[in-house]
Structure formats: C-alpha cells, structure tokens
Amino acid sequence: MSGLRGRLKRLERDTEKTVIECPTCGEEFVTHGDVAAEFIRHEWVRESGGETYRETPEDVLRLFDHKHAPGAFVEKSSGLPFLSREVSGINLGGSFVGMEDPGE
C-alpha cells in the first residue's frame, strides 16, 4: 500500500502552512501548499509571455504584489530562502532570475 501512503503524505504536504517573510521589511505572508513550485510556475509563465495564466493561488499572487523582490523572501521557521533547495526541494540549478533584486 505504498502508493496510498505516498498520496496521503502528499495531501498532507499540500495543505501545509508556510510562513514566508520579506527580509527587507519583515512583512509576513501565510501561504498554503507548494508555494515554491507555484511561484516558479507563475514567474515562468510571466517571463514567457504570460498567455497561459492559470489560476495561481491568491497566496502566491500576494507575494508578487509586494513592493520588494519576492525571490528573496525567506521561509520563516528555517530562515532560508523559500526558493532554496533545502526549503522547496526543487533544484533550480544555479541562480534564478526572480531571486535578484531589481534594485529600484
């Protein structure tokens, strides 16, 4: 029954709450589910022309609405960037475009 166990585990993870903090101003964002993956997908769609905007969760859209670069946000409990491999489990293979502050 390893398949079922995997699914239950996944379900658990999907509804997990993650608190993300802006390192610049300290504002906190409560997100649910796989926020790093949603963030990356949203950013990717935007970069590639944005024609297939799917329903990005409200949680994630709020990160983009913030006045500071969302790619630099950290996961509050660990203090690590939420896009880092340690937090997201996703290996972005080097620098990610969204992680650089536009420096406005």
List interacting residues with Zn ion (CB under 5 A). Answer: 22, 24-25, 27, 68
To Zn ion, the closest distance from the beta carbon of 64 in angstroms equals 12
DSSP conformational letter for 72: G
Whether the CB-CB separation of 77 and 55 falls below 8 Å is answered with no
Q: Based on CB atoms, which residue is closest to Zn ion, 24 or 77?
A: 24
Q: Based on CB atoms, which residue is closest to Zn ion, 24 or 78?
A: 24
Q: Based on CB atoms, which residue is closest to Zn ion, 20 or 40?
A: 20
Whether the CB-CB separation of 43 and 97 falls below 8 Å is answered with yes
